[in-house]
Amino acid sequence: MFTIGLLIVLPLVVALILLLTKGDTLRNAIVKVAASVLAVASIYLLAGNIGMEVPKKYNLDFEMINYLIILAELFLTAIICWQGVKYKKFGVVALAVAQFVFTVYIEFFLHKIHIENNLVLDNLSIIMALLIGIIGSLICVFALGYMKNYHHHKNVKDRSNYFFFILFVFLSAMFGLIFSNNLIWILFFWEITTFCSFLLIGYTRTSEAKQNAFRALFMNLIGGFAFIIAIYILHNMGIAELDKLLAINPMLIALPIALISIAGITKSAQIPFSSWLLGAMVAPTPVSALLHSSTMVKAGVYILIRLSPIMEGTLVGSVVSLLGAITFFIASCIAVSQQNVKKILAYSTIANLGLIVTCAGVGTYQAVWTAIFLTIFHAVAKSLLFLCVGTIEHGIDSLDVEDMDGLVMKMPKVAAFLLVGIAGMFIAPFGMLISKWAALETLISVNPILAIIVAFGSAVTLFFWTKWMGKIIMIIHPVELNEEFVSKDEWFTLGTLSVLTVIVCITFPWISSGMVDPYTQHIYQHTFNMDRGNILIMLGMLALIMLLPLRLLFQGKEIRHVSAYLCGSNITENSEIYQASQSFHGAAGTVKELGLNNYYLQEYFGEDKYAKVGTIIGVLLIIILLGVTFIR
Amino acid sequence: MNYLWIALSFIILAPIEGGLLTGIDRILSARFQGRVGPPLLQPFYDVFKLLQKENTIVTRSQNFYILGFLIFIIITGVLFFCGVDILLVIFVLTLASIFLVLGGYSTHSPYSYIGSERELILMMSYEPMVLLTAIGIYMATGSFSLADIISSGTPVIAYIPGVFIGFVYIILIKFRKSPFDLSMSHHAHQEVVRGIATEFNGRALAMIEISHWYENIFLLGVVYLFFAFNPILGLFMTLVVYFLSIVVDNVSARFKWQLVFKSSWLVAVIFGIINIVVLYVLKMGWK
């Protein structure tokens, strides 16, 4: 209980201190200490409860807390209204006010429901706590070095104290969200994460940033509004707690489940709400890393995974999983046509979240197992990728894949980390593929149509990841090394996350038996285990992939370097003979520079077309989702 | 112990069979074109000659990727014939292909580069149908384990003839046969020269060739799966499919990548998806 309290309260206190801290040195110290404490506390939480079979519940019933929450919500609503009126975003204002009115109505005017347990600790919340506590904290540490470089590169007013303040409030809210059992509390923390991401996206205060921040706010408020209506309906049925909700016959509460799913869908940026996450890329990269990996979008899938057991075999569940699968396909396709790496990463996040949503909608024990693993692997690899990309941006002043030719020569260490991250996202023995494999097997046995959609989507994923990898690993001479500007904090975070990416792959059987299995066991009295032989094969391959690069050290002596074939008209002036020539003789004595560009297949995977189709399908599915709740 | 024997015999026998099939291919192709053709063992002579050549490279890392390609292709085949999970086999195959593509990229040569890009488009074209094949086989036999699939004795082909047609379509891509030989083919097309393999010679090129033999034997193994209930029919059908690929190779002109991409997805949709959905509906009906 103390640890839980610490995880929720400490970041909040630290946030307030950081808001008042102006000096860099002091801030560095505070952030590092706080981050270490959070990481250690979340590990301690695991250590103390490993293999826990029955969730621990905490009453914590103080009227005070409820009043504080109402007060805080009033404050949030007021700020949103003020900002909304100032920038003439009346939709936002309306949603915020409506939500506040509902909250007050439920708290004060509906008959009071006695809350048995406000907080709950089970294996799923431990897993989430680890993700937030370790990855979230690492990102905060990275942000220390990054923000200094950032303000050096960009003409943005330095409000670092405010920036770190919001980061830590965000972490606090995430911890609150995953430990809460009282639905009102969950929604409260839910709204704080929405609000924090609104502030973070708008950090640069450019008109584009403001625009995108409001879009994110608007879409997530729609989700929040759906959530409060669900809570209202449930309250009328006498349910105010998450665990009580999960114990009820899903046929009776189809509408609330659908509404909470919609909230989860908005937060995890599924169609038709995907655009807010893309807009979020205007924020400094640590923000993207945070939103995409351990917080925000993970809050969305978290709530869906929670609901998953009662969605099994229901119409609501089917629609949710269909929506997830279609999101996976569409987002993967759009990623092919993207040149901006942040956009590629954003679409890949949306796609992978789609896969998680698909599994959550299916709701069998195997599907839940898969969804949790997808969440873990994705959080680690995606945070690494975003942070690498942020570092690279400062090195080459670009986010364009086409500018990353030969990155492995210019920024070898960052490129190596980046490659680990990319491999972690889609290559065989690495994490995401392990879970994609489990996902395919689950979906095939439940509904092959979902599996087919995923099959097409994953074929496309292969294309955009590999062509990006190809750009990075090109060997181009001559080389200008450029990565000294990267600070120690940044190296530390990148290194740790790379190691984590590999470690979660190696240790996944133990993660499974220590945390995920007990969770599914408790709910389903069943657990999913991957075949031991297959796990051994995967681990063997992982070892092989790690060892293969040694081959580079032991190459035969008798090799002769030549230039690449350029139709026999290479220009190799002033270079050592083996340095690949970068230009050649064209027709009529001209000199042509060598330039290589990727395919983007706009004709087949154009963003506009797919985004439009995605929105239409998404809206239809949301309507259907609400519609099926009336079918008895 | 048993697995070790399977692995060893695959590692030793597959390149011999693959080389012989290539030899037959070259003789048959020559006959189609009114030539006599090389001796049956010519592919082996070629590879031995490559192995003795001087080792010239554009960049040190390029051969490393080819080694990865060879190793993972061999692992693919070994896993397949050891009877593990069919999806795992597919993923390892994909990993191997990625190594080849990365090898092409690493040289920073325009011809290798275009070859790699095209290879990726080919991969994107055939991958859905490969996964649909796994899905279809699961629907027919109720198992992902290749060992169970074989021992079940299910006449897989009777359940998923559409999937089989789709698979034969994309196997032509994997065989690097015309009309799908866009990324690297034995006949150097002028706009891609030799595609991915442009910058590889000597040992590395020999490794690419040997990997191709391993890959072909594995692919024919998948064809066999459809007919595994009757081994003789199965072997016969692998030969039929191989012969078919030679005929198609000789009678067709190369497609543009657009056509390859569109047609393979279309085939996957028409033959693969419809077959699977029909099977699914029938199975639901039986329940």
A237 in any annotated domain: yes
Q: Give the best residue of B53, B84, B94 to mutate against chain A (max A CB count within 10 A).
A: B94
Distance between CA atoms of residues A261 and A227, nearest Å: 8
Residues 6+ apart with CB under 8 A from A311: A250, A257, A261, A317, A320, A360, A361, A362, A363
Question: Measured between CB atoms, which of A451, A548, A560 is closest to B54?
Answer: A560
Distance, CA of A618 to CA of A612 (rounded, Å): 10
DSSP string, A533-584: HHHHHHHHHHHHHHHGGGGGGG--S-EEE-PPPSTT-EE-TTS-TTSPPSEE
Distance of alpha carbon B157 from alpha carbon B279, whole angstroms? 12
For residue A270, give the 3-state DSSP assignment.
coil
Report whether A297 contacts A306 (CB < 8 A).
no
CB proximity B54 to A under 8 Å: yes
The answer to whether A397 touches A152, Cβ cutoff 8 Å, is: no
CB contact under 8 A, A456 and B265: yes
pLDDT band at residue A575 using 50, 70 and 90 as cut-offs = low
Domain limits at B85? Answer: 2-286
When pLDDT is averaged across residues A360-374 and rounded to a whole number, the result is 93
Strand partners, B81: none
pLDDT at A313 over 70: yes
Q: Which of A105-119, A261-275, A513-527 has the highest mean pLDDT?
A: A261-275
The most distant pair of C-alpha atoms in chain A lies apart, rounded to whole Å, by: 89
Least confident of A198-202, A275-279, B87-91, B282-286: B282-286
Residue ranges of alpha helices (H) inside chain B are 2-32, 42-52, 62-82, 86-106, 110-141, 146-152, 156-159, 161-174, 202-226, 231-251, 257-267, 274-286
Rounded CA gap, A570 and A421, in Å?
36
Q: Is the pLDDT of residue B103 over 70?
A: yes
What's the pLDDT score for residue A471? 92
Handedness of CA B42, B48, B54, B57 (dihedral sign): positive
Whether residue A557 has pLDDT greater than 70: no
Query: Given CB atoms, is B32 within the 8 Å cutoff of chain A?
Result: no
Using the beta-carbon criterion (under 8 Å), do B105 and A451 form an inter-chain contact? no
Q: What pLDDT is attached to residue A596? A: 84
Residue B277 with chain A: CB contacts under 8 Å: 448-449
- Chain B's closest residue to A407, CA to CA, is B106
Whether A574 shows a pLDDT value over 60: the answer reads no
Q: How far is A45 from chain B (nearest CA, A)?
A: 35
Overall size of chain B counted in residues? 287
B121: amino acid identity, one letter: I
Q: What is the dihedral of CA A203, A209, A211, A213, to 10 degrees?
A: -40
Cis peptide before B39 (omega within 30 of 0): no
Do A607 and A416 touch, CB atoms closer than 8 A? no
Question: Cβ–Cβ of B109/A604 closer than 8 Å?
Answer: no
Alpha-carbon distance of B273 to B133, in angstroms, equals: 10
Average pLDDT of the segment spanning A172-179: 94
Residue B190: the pLDDT is 66
In this predicted model, what pLDDT tens digit does every residue of A145-158 receive, in sequence order?
A: 888 888 887 777 88
Whole-angstrom Cα distance, residue A460 to residue A441? Answer: 19
Q: Is the pTM of this model over 0.80?
A: yes
Q: Which of A468, A195, A505 is nearest to A347 (CA)?
A: A468
Q: Would the CA dihedral through A444, A448, A450, A455 be positive or negative? A: positive
Spatial distance between the Cα atoms of A43 and A130, rounded to a whole number of angstroms:
7
Give the distance from residue B16's alpha carbon to the nearest chain A alpha carbon, in angstroms: 26
Average pLDDT over residues A113-124: 88
Residue A350 clears pLDDT 70, i.e. is over it: yes
A421 pLDDT more than 70: yes
Q: Which of A452, A473, A565 faces B135 most closely, judged by CB atoms?
A: A452
ipTM given for this complex: 0.94
pLDDT band with cut points at 50, 70 and 90 for residue A221 = very high
What pLDDT score was predicted for residue B185? Answer: 76
Which residue is associated with the tokens 């008042």? Answer: A20
Q: Considering the domain boundaries, does residue A557 fall inside one? A: no
Whether residue A358 contacts residue A417, with contact meaning beta carbons closer than 8 Å, is answered with no
Query: Binning pLDDT at 50, 70 and 90, where does residue B25 land?
Result: very high
Instruction: Chain B: give the shortest CA distance to residue A498, in Å.
Output: 20
Contacts of B67 in chain A (CB under 8 A): 548, 551
Token pair of A166, please?
Answer: 């919001």
| Share of residues in chain B with pLDDT > 70 (%) | 98
Quote the pLDDT of residue A40: 94
A375 CA: distance to closest CA in chain B (Å) = 21
Please give the biggest Cα pair distance in chain B: 65
Contact yes or no for A558 and B64 at CB 8 A: no
Q: Which residue has the tokens 């309290």?
A: A5
Contact A462, B123 (CB under 8 A): yes
Q: How distant is the alpha carbon of residue A7 from its chain centre?
A: 20
Residue B160 has pLDDT above 90, yes or no: yes
The band of A63, judged by pLDDT with boundaries at 50, 70 and 90, is confident
CB contact under 8 A, B64 and A448: no
Q: Give me the number of domains chain B comprises.
A: 1
> Cα separations (Å) of A491 from A132, A380, A417, A486, A503?
20, 16, 10, 7, 18
Whole-number average pLDDT of chain A: 89
pLDDT at A431: 82
Q: Is residue A94 part of a domain?
A: yes
- In sign, the C-alpha dihedral spanning B198, A564, B204, A474 is negative
Start-to-end CA distance of chain B, whole Å, equals 41
pLDDT (0 to 100) of residue A532: 82
Give the residue with greater pLDDT, A518 vs B191.
A518
pLDDT for the residue numbered A56: 86
Residue B189 has pLDDT above 80, yes or no: no
Q: For B198-245, what is each residue's pLDDT tens digit?
A: 888 888 999 999 999 999 999 999 999 999 999 999 999 999 999 999
| β-bridge pairing A570-571 and A559-561 | unpaired
Best mutation target, B135, B149, B182, B266, to test chain A (most A CBs within 10 A): B135
Question: Which has more confidence, A479 or A55?
Answer: A55
Which helix H or strand E contains B56, and what residues bound it? strand B55-57
Decide if B102 and A469 are in contact by the 8 Å CB cutoff. Answer: yes
B274 in contact with A, Cβ within 8 Å: no
Q: What CA–CA distance (Å, rounded) separates A126 from A50?
A: 9
A39-52 pLDDT, tens digit per residue, is 999 999 998 888 78
User: For chain A, how many structural domains are there in total?
Assistant: 1
B149-168 mean pLDDT:
92
- Residue A580: what pLDDT? 56
Question: What residue numbers bound the domain in which A456 lies?
Answer: 2-548+599-628
For residue B93, pLDDT beyond 90 = yes
Q: Provide the 3-class DSSP secondary structure of residue A36.
A: helix
**φ, ψ (nearest 5 deg) of residue A204:** -75, -15
Do B90 and B134 meet the contact criterion of CB atoms below 8 Å apart? yes
For chain A, what is the radius of gyration of the CA atoms? 25
Would you call B55 an interface residue with chain A, using a CB distance cutoff of 8 Å? yes
Report, in angstroms and rounded to the nearest whole number, the Rg of chain B calculated over CA atoms: 19
Range list of H helices, A312-428:
315-336, 341-362, 365-396, 407-410, 412-426
Q: How confident is the model at residue A328 (pLDDT cuts 50, 70, 90)?
A: very high
Order across the sheet with A570-571: list the strands.
Answer: A570-571, A583-585, A591-593
Percent of chain A topping pLDDT 90: 51
